[in-house]
Chains A and B, each alone.
Chain A
Amino acid sequence: MSEVGFYDVRMIDATSTSIVLDNGNIEEISVNYSKGCGARALCGGSWGFTTAEGEFDLKAAIDSASELAAQMNNISPKDEVKLKPVEKPVIKNIPTAKIDPADVPIEEKVQLLKDIEDHAKMDGVSSTSAVYSEASVNVHYISSEGIDCEYSLIRTGFAISAVATENGSYQVGRESRFGVCGFELFEENDALALARSAGETAVELLGAEQAKGGTLPVILDPELAGVFAHEAVGHASEADLVLEGSSILADRLGEQIASPLVNIIDDPTLHEYGYYPFDSEGVMSSKTTIIKDGVLNSYLHSRETAQALGGTPGNSRAQGYSEPVVRMSNTYIDNGDSNFDEMLEEIGNGMYLTGSRGGQVNTGEGIFQFNAEKGYLIENGEVTRLLRDVSLSGKTLEILNNVTLVGNDLKMHSGRCGKGGQLAPVSDGSPHISISKALVGGV
């Protein structure tokens, strides 16, 4: 029977506050304090994971994870798992809050949120809601290899949604901004203008036509193209999925898988919502070029997958005390040199899809489905009528190859990404991109 050869523990201490407003009334003010740890141990080829909450006993947590790993390896022995060796992370350039949200009185936060919500109200808007959230977290990582590191981070953000109603039809507009920063988020983003835009979207969509489905040339705006980069490409590049045999990108490193105009990058060092100084395995964060000039350049790795496939670890992330899994951080399609007008001219007749209501992907078959917030017909090189309920689906590799122009107006959007039942803060982005052929669905 093997001995436990490795263990590590993440100790997390967090405070979060959220305020929910609905139609001008405070729906909820909620504060949460949490403290606990997630411990894991590796015995031969078996992992053991435990969590402990409150004033936990560190040694007991490690022992318990070790026992699970040993028991697992005893009952179900397998090939030894090796981890890629790493250095202790150097923590530098960590984002700091210029205005600590903890120093802002709760009354001021409530008032700001009321102002934001107010700006989403307009003729046609029947209801609004707004959410403010702030969280401060301290993460302390230790491992049996002697790594001991720690960071504190503040995350602040808000979301606004407006519903417009007319003759039994309902349309929704949403905007949100979240960042690794403090209350200065509201100085750097015009929250009131964003709220107005959410209200306008909802009202505009009431008058929109239903889209007619079919295979068309399309232009994606930075938000929707960012969702494509994240969902369709980013997830398939996660090396745990590659190893388990559920990625369309397996065995394709070095292959031309996209138009040479396409460069896709994951960079946790950017001070965007997906930022972290070291990952959940204590590995210093670094930039990864997933696709370089259309060629698959690298997967995203944990220490285990980096050792198995060759590569650089640093993308192992966990929600709270959960076990780390390979995840993205800030993922984007890099700038090209085209502009929107050139795209319209090139496409002639097609559709312009903007914003995102989310999406889903089957990484094994390389198939995805997203819903745009809005669609516009493009007729004779001009953006014309507004369309609603537009979705985009297709094969990841076909879309990547069908990219004909990449814009130079990269923009990032913050959000949360779900994998394995865990949510992680991420951002994704892109410039406008033009695609020669895609399956667009309507009702």
Chain B
Amino acid sequence: MFEHAQKAIELAEKLGADEAEVYISYNHSISADIRKNTIESAKENVSQGIGIRSIINGAVGFASTNNVGRIEDVVNISVSSAKVRDSDPEWTSLPSNAKYPEVSGTYDKRISKIGLDECIGLTGKMIEGALSVPGVNTTSGSFSTSFNKHLIMNTNGVEIVDEGTGVSGFVDVITTKGDISTAYDFEVSRSLDIDVFGIGASASSLAIRSQDGISIEPKKTDVILHPFAFSDIFENTFEPSIDADNMQKERSSLIGKKGETIATSDLNIIDDGLLEGGIETSISDEEGTPSQRTPIIEKGIFKSFLYDNYTAGKDNTSSTGNGMRHSYVSSPSVGPRNLIVEYPSSDVIADTDEGVFINTVIGAHTANAISGDFSVEARNAFTIKDGQIDKPIKSLMLSGNIFEMLNKITGAGSDVRKVGGTVVPSLRISEMSIVG
């Protein structure tokens, strides 16, 4: 399909497009799935497709297909869709060719050569890890590897090809004796360096430790959120608020807050498209703007929204390299790259006299994405007493507001995890409201 890019651009111009852009992605993945302690199935998927943006008088049309035979049709449709629309005076232009940074740790040639047999071997190790803890079954899980390649080409001279690899392992477990308790664990990486045995063992150990939970009284207390719990809440509340598109449409609580202190002074949050081995690392974003490192919160002060090329044009600023796509089927919109949350680390549990440790939450997507209010069910939660994890808690609701939380962070662990693109340690937040 890649060989059709140039011709598609030329056709769009011929049909009357002032500017045109082609995005082509190719993905090859192999995975093995677990069902009740057995490796049940193998999957091999090859997917590729092309998305075309045509711009006429600042009006954008977009169309896409996975069918080489229909590329001409989609070019036609993207041009005719642009013609239906009124001119958008706020459109500036597609990104121009630029100097692109080098990135590292995004391609592991061992992954591009991996076969099903090795995938199955690694999946088996994950099950072994889970079953190394007595009294637990793996209910489901998966190990997968992928190779991706994408091309961005436009009429302003951008022509980028980037390749990368990825690997992921996850497992769900349940206890088989006594009180029913579940847990999960997962790791994602760009290299073949994840500890599959460890993923299984840690999920199982957590499920066992969570058995026979106690009830607790509603109160306000110190809560330590594991990277899984924190990132789940963070992605559904904070991330939408730093999206320049939401800000421009008055759907962000951070409107007008640039330069203001919005968090505790020890907190830094950085959007980093260049992070070594980052899940969202690439030489450019998905419309051809070079990747960069953008401070979002520096010493508690709100520094910047995230911009793609269009929203940057609207605000007379430069794109921060955050023009992202869900796939070739969608045109770019603002999306975070690797969002790194930094806070000075300590032995955070040992430093906590009394509180609650929460591993995961369910229902974070029901949060109010603008106000940042959320109310979630905490899973695999424990009481903390005298600096130690004490007893499991059966059922617990955690409520709060992300912007209030940012001012109440009082500690962090040294257990930084890559939860997809969110890179974060366990964080302690004071005066969180819990209902048991």
Is B177 engaged at the interface, CB distance under 8 Å to the other chain? no
CA of A72 to CA of B116, assembled, Å? 8
- For window 363-389 of B, CB contacts with A under 8 Å fall at 363, 365-366, 368-371, 373, 375-377, 379
Could you jot down 16 A-B contacts, CB within 8 Å?
A: A22-B249, A26-B86, A29-B62, A30-B81, A33-B67, A33-B73, A49-B44, A50-B44, A55-B68, A78-B40, A171-B368, A362-B379, A364-B182, A365-B182, A389-B375, A391-B397
CA of A72 to CA of B43, assembled, Å? 10
Q: Chain A residue with minimal CB distance to B137?
A: A245
Could you say which of A163, A168, A361 contacts B362, with CB atoms under 8 Å apart? A361
- For window 39-66 of A, CB contacts with B under 8 Å fall at 45-55, 64
A244 adjacent to B251 (CB under 8 Å): no
Nearest CB on B from A95, distance (A): 25
Interface string of B21-60 (1 = CB under 8 A from A): 0000000000010011011111111111100000000011
- For window 335-391 of A, CB contacts with B under 8 Å fall at 357-362, 364-365, 367-371, 389-391
Q: Chain B residue with minimal CB distance to A26?
A: B85
CA of A369 to CA of B377, assembled, Å? 6
Is B180 engaged at the interface, CB distance under 8 Å to the other chain? yes
Q: Chain A residue with minimal CB distance to B73?
A: A33
Q: Chain B residue with minimal CB distance to A364?
A: B182
A47 adjacent to B40 (CB under 8 Å): yes
Identify the stretch in A269-277, A282-290, A435-443 within 8 Å (CB) of chain B at 4 or more residues: A435-443
A393: which B residues are within 8 A, CB to CB? 363, 377, 395, 397
A68 adjacent to B66 (CB under 8 Å): no
B435 adjacent to A29 (CB under 8 Å): no
- For window 164-178 of B, CB contacts with A under 8 Å fall at 172, 174, 176
B47 adjacent to A76 (CB under 8 Å): no
- For window 70-124 of B, CB contacts with A under 8 Å fall at 70, 73-74, 77-78, 81, 84-86, 88, 116-117, 120, 124
B116 adjacent to A68 (CB under 8 Å): yes
Is A214 engaged at the interface, CB distance under 8 Å to the other chain? yes
Is B330 engaged at the interface, CB distance under 8 Å to the other chain? yes
Is A2 engaged at the interface, CB distance under 8 Å to the other chain? no
Could you say which of B49, B88, B330 contacts A53, with CB atoms under 8 Å apart? B49
Q: Which residues of A contact B (CB under 8 A)?
A: 22-23, 25-26, 28-36, 45-55, 64, 68-69, 71-72, 75-76, 78, 106-107, 110, 126-127, 129, 163, 165, 168-172, 213-214, 240-241, 243-246, 248, 321, 323, 357-362, 364-365, 367-371, 389-391, 393-395, 439, 441-443
Could you say which of B44, B69, B369, B397 contacts A213, with CB atoms under 8 Å apart? B397
The 8 closest A-B pairs by CB, nearest first: A371-B366, A47-B41, A170-B370, A369-B363, A369-B377, A246-B139, A441-B397, A53-B66
B81 adjacent to A323 (CB under 8 Å): no
A391: which B residues are within 8 A, CB to CB? 363, 366, 375-376, 397, 399
> Beyond the given A172-B369, A359-B366, A362-B362, could you list 8 further A-B residue pairs with CB under 8 A, ordered by the A residue number?
A33-B73, A46-B39, A53-B49, A68-B116, A78-B40, A170-B370, A389-B375, A443-B433
A371 adjacent to B35 (CB under 8 Å): no
Knowing A64-B44, A362-B379, A441-B399 are in contact, say whether A245-B373 is a contact too (CB < 8 A).
Answer: no
CA of A241 to CA of B363, assembled, Å? 20
- For window 409-436 of B, CB contacts with A under 8 Å fall at 433, 435
B249 adjacent to A127 (CB under 8 Å): yes
Residue of A32, A126, A169, A389 with highest tally of chain B CB at under 10 A: A32
B74 adjacent to A31 (CB under 8 Å): yes
Nearest CB on A from B137, distance (A): 5
Knowing A25-B88, A46-B41, A391-B375 are in contact, say whether A34-B182 is a contact too (CB < 8 A).
Answer: no
A31: which B residues are within 8 A, CB to CB? 62-64, 74, 77-78, 81
Q: Count B-side interface residues using an 8 Å CB cutoff.
A: 77
A165 adjacent to B401 (CB under 8 Å): no
CA of A170 to CA of B43, assembled, Å? 44
CA of A360 to CA of B379, assembled, Å? 12
Q: Which residues of B contact A (CB under 8 A)?
A: 32, 35-36, 38-49, 59-70, 73-74, 77-78, 81, 84-86, 88, 116-117, 120, 124, 137, 139-140, 172, 174, 176, 180-182, 218, 249-251, 253, 329-331, 362-363, 365-366, 368-371, 373, 375-377, 379, 395, 397, 399-401, 433, 435
Could you say which of A34, A244, A395 contacts B65, with CB atoms under 8 Å apart? A34
CA of A53 to CA of B44, assembled, Å? 13
Residue of B46, B74, B251 with highest tally of chain A CB at under 10 A: B251
Nearest CB on A from B318, distance (A): 22
Could you say which of A30, A51, A52, A358 contacts B64, with CB atoms under 8 Å apart? A30
B41 adjacent to A323 (CB under 8 Å): yes
B74: which A residues are within 8 A, CB to CB? 31, 33
A69: which B residues are within 8 A, CB to CB? 41-42
CA of A46 to CA of B182, assembled, Å? 26
B377 adjacent to A72 (CB under 8 Å): no
Knowing A107-B84, A170-B253 are in contact, say whether A46-B40 is a contact too (CB < 8 A).
Answer: yes
B366 adjacent to A357 (CB under 8 Å): yes
Nearest CB on A from B275, distance (A): 25
B371 adjacent to A169 (CB under 8 Å): yes
A168 adjacent to B66 (CB under 8 Å): no
Q: Chain A residue with minimal CB distance to B34?
A: A244
Knowing A31-B74, A36-B66, A54-B69 are in contact, say whether A126-B46 is a contact too (CB < 8 A).
Answer: no
Could you say which of A172, A359, A364 contacts B363, with CB atoms under 8 Å apart? A359
A165: which B residues are within 8 A, CB to CB? 250
Could you say which of B67, B81, B395 contacts A367, with CB atoms under 8 Å apart? B395
A32 adjacent to B377 (CB under 8 Å): no
Knowing A51-B45, A170-B368, A323-B41 are in contact, say whether A371-B363 is a contact too (CB < 8 A).
Answer: yes
B41: which A residues are within 8 A, CB to CB? 46-49, 69, 72, 323
B73: which A residues are within 8 A, CB to CB? 33
A245: which B residues are within 8 A, CB to CB? 36, 137, 139, 174, 176
B116 adjacent to A371 (CB under 8 Å): no
CA of A129 to CA of B251, assembled, Å? 11
CA of A55 to CA of B66, assembled, Å? 9
A46: which B residues are within 8 A, CB to CB? 39-42
Could you say which of A32, A55, A439 contacts B63, with CB atoms under 8 Å apart? A32
Q: Chain A residue with minimal CB distance to B360?
A: A362
Nearest CB on B from A112, distance (A): 14
A169: which B residues are within 8 A, CB to CB? 371
A364: which B residues are within 8 A, CB to CB? 139, 172, 174, 180, 182
